[in-house]
Amino acid sequence: MARFTQTQILRLANIFDNAGQVLLATVVLPPIFTQESGRIETNIIFIGMLSTIAAWWISLRLERIGGS
């Protein structure tokens, strides 16, 4: 089984960090700022927040693995 180098793991952590930022900006924030008829899509926001936190958590775990 192929093993990743430390540099590759840190690069993957960076990719997951960027993915979390994109999820936050595209899934979570637009429903908050574009409320139509005063209704916020809480399901979309909830799923977006979970996805964002998951991407950032994976990023932190990979940074911890790659930094050792």
Distance (Å, whole) CA 41 – CA 39: 7
Query: Is 9 in contact with 65 (CB distance < 8 Å)?
Result: yes
DSSP 34: S
Distance (Å, whole) CA 30 – CA 56: 20
For residue range 10-32, list pLDDT tens digits in order.
999 999 999 999 999 999 888 88
From the centroid of its chain, how far is CA 23? Answer: 6
For residue range 32-68, list pLDDT tens digits in order.
887 776 677 788 889 999 999 999 999 999 999 988 6
